[in-house]
Amino acid sequence: KNEVEQSPQNLTAQEGEFITINCSYSVGISALHWLQQHPGGGIVSLFMLSSGKKKHGRLIATINIQEKHSSLHITASHPRDSAVYICAVIPYQGAQKLVFGQGTRLTINP
């Protein structure tokens, strides 16, 4: 079993829909990242959080440390949001390496 599990693996929605991507992890962590990767493009860090909730534009990320769970929400989704969204954690062991989920491929149709 992977230390970081995302769901769903693939998600197709219509423009304007509210999107939720979930991430569960099995280890103690010091921080969690949500990353975005466009086709053929590089990786951009959207959020880094260790507690509570963060918001940036139409994107909202939440984390529940006790339940080892995080969600990424997109409000009023747009075709340009189509990308792979990756959850990654930094485990407590003291190393700084990211441990990645498998990613969620999001497609927003006009």
Among residues 6 and 77, whose Cβ is nearest to another protein?
6
By DSSP bridging, strand 99-100 and strand 83-91 are antiparallel
CB of 100 to another protein, least distance (A): 4
Residues binding another protein (CB under 8 A):
30-31, 33, 35, 41-45, 48, 50, 86, 88, 90, 95-103
The dihedrals phi and psi of 81, each to the nearest 5 degrees, come to -80, -10
Beta-carbon contacts of 1 under 8 Å, excluding residues fewer than 6 positions away, are: 26
Residue 77 or 106 with smaller CB distance to another protein: 106
Beta carbon nearer to another protein, 71 or 102: 102
